[in-house]
Amino acid sequence: GQNIDQPTEMTATEGAIVQINCTYQTSGFNGLFWYQQHAGEAPTFLSYNVLDGLEEKGRFSSFLSRSKGYSYLLLKELQMKDSASYLCAPRGYNKLIFGAGTRLAVHP
Amino acid sequence: ETGVTQTPRHLVMGMTNKKSLKCEQHLGHNAMYWYKQSAKKPLELMFVYSLEERVENNSVPSRFSPECPNSSHLFLHLHTLQPEDSALYLCASSQDLKNTEAFFGQGTRLTVV
């Protein structure tokens, strides 16, 4: 079966760094995705990890440990527009399953 | 604009109505998905199609009936829905079912009255 756990809400200050953690269990594993979803909009792709380690992409980085079933998304130099939900999505066999998402509120 | 287009964007239907949601992608992708997103709940995977063949049905009630006539189009036929079926229905596509990201349409906001 699938089980994905991430914090429900987080708050942070503009310009700061925030780390959003995700733990998962999945049958079959073909990598893990992070998506961003603003209220009322469709999810948009942020990052993908299939091997252990850190993938850096501008202000956003994502880390994966397959043996621990653990990933995190790191957001640096936070901006107000980063206020959104961040969805952890491990890809299993024939499936892309999403966690409930972490609602991040960035304030001045 | 992600290359995945859903119509209509909004739909209000009665419990005895029959309607269809349409999804179209011109990205050359081989896999397409239907997801349901209710308020305060995670995205729920409903159906997965690969090369026009349904490969996943995530215990979805029969009042939801998917159709994939070709690799660019995906439909979700709706009949005798319940008010609790009101949600945002999102279509997505990906190159394959392995390690490629999914691109989402803007969704259809469905209200069942």
Question: pLDDT of A43-72, one tens digit each?
Answer: 999 999 999 999 998 999 999 999 999 999
Q: What is the pLDDT of residue B2?
A: 61
pLDDT band at A107, cuts 50/70/90?
very high
- Between CA B91 and CA A93 the distance in angstroms is 19
Q: What is the pLDDT of residue B60?
A: 94
pLDDT band at A26, cuts 50/70/90?
confident
In terms of phi and psi (left: phi > 0; alpha: psi -120 to 50; beta: otherwise), the region of B71 is alpha
B42/A42 CB distance under 8 A: no
Residues 61-80 of A with CB under 8 A from B: none
Which class for B6: exposed (0-12), middle (13-18), buried (19 or more C-beta within 10 A)? buried
Q: What is the pLDDT of residue A1?
A: 58
User: Is A91 an interface residue toward B (CB < 8 Å)?
Assistant: yes
Which of A1, A26, A7 lies closest to A72 in space, CA to CA?
A: A7
B101/A33 CB distance under 8 A: yes
Mean pLDDT for chain A? 94
- Between CA B32 and CA B19 the distance in angstroms is 20
Residue B1 pLDDT > 60: no
Set of chain A residues whose Cβ sits within 8 Å of the Cβ of B7: none
pLDDT band at B100, cuts 50/70/90?
confident
Set of chain B residues whose Cβ sits within 8 Å of the Cβ of A33: 101-102
User: Is A8 an interface residue toward B (CB < 8 Å)?
Assistant: no
Q: What is the pLDDT of residue A63?
A: 98
- Between CA B1 and CA B5 the distance in angstroms is 8
User: Is A57 an interface residue toward B (CB < 8 Å)?
Assistant: no
Residue B76 pLDDT > 80: yes
Which of A14, A34, A7, A12 lies closest to A89 in space, CA to CA?
A: A34
Pairing state between β A102-107 and A84-92:
antiparallel
pLDDT band at A40, cuts 50/70/90?
confident
Q: What is the pLDDT of residue A5?
A: 95
